[in-house]
Amino acid sequence: MSIVCSPNSSPKESVELKQQEIEIGPESAGQKRKTDEESADQPDQKQRRVKKQRQKDFRDTNDLDSVEYVIEDGLRKVKPYFFEYRAYAKGRWMKREILNVFKEEFQDRDETYYRHAIETGLITINGERVPLDYVIMNNDILGHKIHRHEPIVTAEPIEIVHRDDDLIVINKPGGIPVHPAGRYRHNTVIHVLRKELNVPRLYPANRLDRPTSGLMLIGLNSERARQFESQMVQGKIQKEYVCRVVGEFPEGEITCDAPIKTISYKLSLNYVHQDGKECKTVFERLSYNGKTSVVRCRPKTGRTHQIRVHLRYLGYPIANDPTYSDDQPWSPLMGYGQTLNDEQANKVVQKVLEASKFPEGMWNDTEDDDNTKTDASKVAKPRCEECGLVLSEDPKYRELKIWLHAWRYAGDGWAYETKIPDWAQESFVE
């Protein structure tokens, strides 16, 4: 039996370009275009000019030698360290006030914190303190100085499935992000591998969500990674995943081609939307234990959270998915078989934001007339001696991952696969 699941609205035709890890040239970095006279430099002069410029480029910072990892109770921690985020102003930030940019674009902290950081000079423009209403201009470099507390990740080893002169194939553990982004830098697959293998650069050809485990293709040079990326874009690589979902998934082949849209980039939140991008996933049940089902998933496109969103849309979300399961405050707003419009999507985003916990620290401490803390519970919370950040409890190991695993990738004349996780075995008991 073959069932095709589609929403009433037809998806718009679109092409998704996958971002590659490339070095940003001077123009794209917001620097001025060279004059004709400068362009007339001899080749060796150009090389010296570029080399000198790259030596001064803040994006080339390599601090892996100084990172200190701590492994405890199955968790990998990074010893907190001082760090300054620096970035060239993006086009969409231009002509916007600095406070507005930070509170809208970086939603892992609240407005109170960003006011504090701008007023105290932790957030700067071109290395200088600016007022809250400073308007961001072209060529501006935004800086954010922090005592960095990276989130805790799994300490499960990264298994090497295959290695040759220009390729590493790994079995990524669930509970660790692939590459540096947001609050993660050293607690990432790329930095852990670079440090363990003593290699200067790694080029992932595919990505997996932080809680997802499974197979990854990582080039030791950019050319090998581009080869795999090109094959993926052309649909020449067959991908197979396994997952464990709520309930008794139907027998037979189930195809879902509901269009998916990213409804919040900063929250990495996606769902079926009337303006979504075309995508397709084929599912097949492998087993059922009376409570949950193990399902094989074959994504034919590569949208963010595609498998997780399609399973929720079908009514069988991944059983321990912290975003798309049924036990979140926003779950009722993402109904089974429901195609969202912009108004409905905004309600989901707002609900997720309301449920988010912002970091606590000296920037949101309040005092009463007697100069004492109004919330006595804050006094008892452990704090970082360096920055005053209220320290949170360690997560449970099982909370870091979900039951979704990239099992097998195959192309023309090659195939790699990992072992099946314990949770995907028929004998597994929740």
Average pLDDT over residues 414-424: 96
Confidence of residue 4 (pLDDT cuts 50, 70, 90): low
Report yes or no on 387 lying in a domain. no
Instruction: For residue 389, tell me if it sits in a domain.
Output: no
Q: Residue 73: is it exposed, middle or buried by C-beta count within 10 angstroms (0-12/13-18/19+)? A: exposed
Q: How far is CA 410 from CA 193, 369, 406, 415, 416, in A?
A: 23, 68, 12, 4, 6
Q: Does 245 share its domain with 348? A: yes
Residue 56, pLDDT above cutoff 70? no
Report residue 36's pLDDT band, with 50, 70 and 90 as the boundaries: very low
Q: Is residue 89 part of a domain?
A: yes
Is 132 within the bounds of a domain? Answer: yes
- Number of folded domains that form the chain: 2
| Full residue range of the structural domain in which residue 102 is found | 81-148
Angle at 147 between CA 362 and CA 175, to 5 degrees: 105
Residue 262: CATH number of its domain: 3.30.2350.10
Looking at the structure, tell me whether residues 243 and 144 fall in a common domain.
no
**Within-domain flag for 404:** no
Active-site positions? 209
SS (H, E, C) 199-213: CCCCEECCCCCCCCE
Residues 144, 243 within the same domain: no
pLDDT at 52 over 60: no
Same domain, 139 and 245: no
- More confident call, 106 vs 403: 403
Amino acid in position 270: N
What tokens does 185 get?
Answer: 């830098």
Question: What phi and psi values does residue 223 have, to the nearest 5 degrees?
Answer: -65, -45
- Which is more confidently placed, 30 or 400? 400
For the chain, the residue count is 430
Domain end call among 342, 357, 372: 357
Going by C-beta distance under 8 Å and a sequence separation of 6 or more, which residues neighbour residue 297? Answer: 240, 241, 242, 243, 281, 282, 283, 307, 311
Give bridge partners of residue 144 from the DSSP assignment: 85, 123
Instruction: Kindly tell me if the per-residue pLDDT of 34 is higher than 80.
Output: no
The answer to the question of residue 293 being in a domain is: yes
Does one domain contain both 136 and 242?
no
Average pLDDT estimate for 164-181: 96
User: pLDDT by residue (tens digit) across 345-380?
Assistant: 999 999 998 888 777 777 766 544 444 444 544 456
Q: Of 148, 166, 181, which residue sits at a domain end?
A: 148
Q: For residue 89, what are the CA distances in angstroms to 29, 62, 305, 309, 313?
A: 8, 22, 28, 32, 37
Query: Which candidate, 359, 414, 424, 338, places its Cα nearest to that of 5?
Result: 338
Q: pLDDT > 90: what percent of the chain?
A: 68
Q: What is the mean pLDDT of the chain?
A: 84
Assigned token pair, 156: 């499960």
Residue 261 lies in a domain: yes
Q: What is the pTM of this model?
A: 0.79
Bridge partners, 367 (sequence order)? 373
Q: How far apart are CA 415 and CA 282, in angstroms?
A: 20
Q: What does the pLDDT read at residue 364? A: 67
Q: Which of 312, 334, 357 is the last residue of a domain?
A: 357
Residue range 256-305, pLDDT digits in tens: 999 999 999 888 999 999 999 999 999 999 999 999 999 999 999 999 99
Any idea which of 17-26, 142-151, 367-376 has the lowest mean pLDDT? 17-26
Q: Which of 10-19, 88-97, 128-137, 368-377 has the lowest mean pLDDT?
A: 10-19
Q: Residue 117: which CATH number?
A: 3.10.290.10
Query: In the prediction, which pLDDT does 373 show?
Result: 46
Residue in 228, 181, 177 with CA at minimum distance from that of residue 206: 228
pLDDT over threshold 50, residue 181: yes
As a whole number, mean pLDDT of residues 215-229 equals 96
In a domain, 345, yes or no: yes
